[in-house]
Amino acid sequence: MLEIRSNQLEKVVLVGAILPGTSRATVHEHLDELHLLCTTAGAEIEKVFIQDVGRPNAAYLIGKGKAEEIALYAQENKISAIIFDDELSAVQVRNMENLSKCKVLDRSAIILDIFASHAKTREAKTQVELAQYEYFLPRLTRQWTHLSKQYGGIGTKGPGETQIETDRRIIKTKISSLKQKLDEIDIQRDTQRKQRTDIFKVVLVGYTNVGKSTLLNLLSDADVLVEDKLFATLDSTTRTVRTKSGSTFLLSDTVGFIRKLPPNLIASFRSTLREIVDADLILHVVDSSHHNFQEQINVVNETLEEIHADKNKVQIVFNKIDLLDDTSQINKLNNLYPGCVFVSAERGVNITQLFEKIESSMNSNIVKGDVEIDFTQSRVLSSIHDLSENVETKYFEDKIAVSFTAKQVNYKKILKLISKV
């Protein structure tokens, strides 16, 4: 995988642009998060620059005067990288690098770098590598110093091309190969999912660093890595959980979301995110102690909509209630989000209620069915056995009476099969 980081802390400066329709407070909030991202990536922040931008500058995003000021500061203070909170075009990156004589990155590049360092499994590494190549493809002009060189003369006609075209072609081939690998992983995942279609599936989602892995460990007695870092875990972890009543369900943790998550990263993590799409219940975990939790909720909801999981049943879980300075906040949140659950995964507070919510959802998802089919519908009877449990059959002269229990979605499939015959 491509990695931006080095073994030593890099001295960097951050740049935020107050664009039309964005408040100064919002930009400060986003820069605070970028600061944490850069720290996670192994950078030391020397200074933060902010500018009101009436209209984005096509050459630098920010104004030329501010760009020159930042470039001068970078040269005088031996800055390794200038990092923008907003995504830059290839032209803006090139212009700013020529001006400052140092590396220029944006938030997407930092997120990809963190993902690259945290990817452990073959699947995660392949997903991140694909996202990186797709991100870097239009930005080749700054990644390779030889790209401006063009070969010509005798013997170079016909298929002759600039070095940048050669690199672009190589990367496109690599992208194609990585997509094929992910397709193979998707097939393996689909096979695994088909083997557990009758098991109730619960998935944890949420903004990065809200305590999902801690909650997974608590509910399932798992031993998943828990760190106070952004994107500490990338791989989807699934555990079987048994309730006090004896019911079982599958509980999966997924990668955390964040503002301005690179679209190609979401696309490449499609096999991991399928766990969310296929879930019977989504536990949306929220850090109730975060001062801007509402925006984090909105970011997660937008991402769920983007991956077409917004129609799934969602249970809001407000975590870290032990860190609330004002406990009256709980009443306010309860009014805003009726039916939500308040827990502390770190201290094991109110976990029983969360289990009760999950069991209630499991029970509401199960339907008892009674249908009649004739003797020519043997395939339908076979499908009923595949799609349901507790199947009982009674044979009469002209029909077969079948009783069963099934998930609502499977119950509808069975009725559809019967109506087609």
How confident is the model over 392-401, as pLDDT tens digits? 999 988 889 9
Band (pLDDT 50/70/90 cuts) for residue 222 is: low
What span, in angstroms and rounded, lies between the C-alpha atoms of 200 and 365? 9
Contact by Cβ (8 Å): 276, 238: no
308 burial level (CB within 10 Å; 0-12, 13-18, 19+):
exposed
Average pLDDT over all residues of the chain: 83
Q: What distances in angstroms separate CA 405 from CA 279, 384, 414, one per listed residue?
A: 19, 10, 11
Confidence grade of residue 155 (pLDDT, cut at 50, 70, 90): very low
Residue 345: the pLDDT is: 92
Retrieve residue 24's tokens. Answer: 């100064």
- Whether 219 shows a pLDDT value over 80: the answer reads yes
Residue with more model confidence, 222 or 273: 273
| Tokens standing for residue 235 | 């791989």
pTM of the predicted model over 0.85: no
Percent of the chain whose predicted confidence (pLDDT) is above 90:
38
pLDDT tens digit string along 120-147? 778 888 888 888 888 888 776 544 443 3
For the ranges 143-152, 168-177, 317-326, 366-375, the lowest mean pLDDT is seen at 143-152
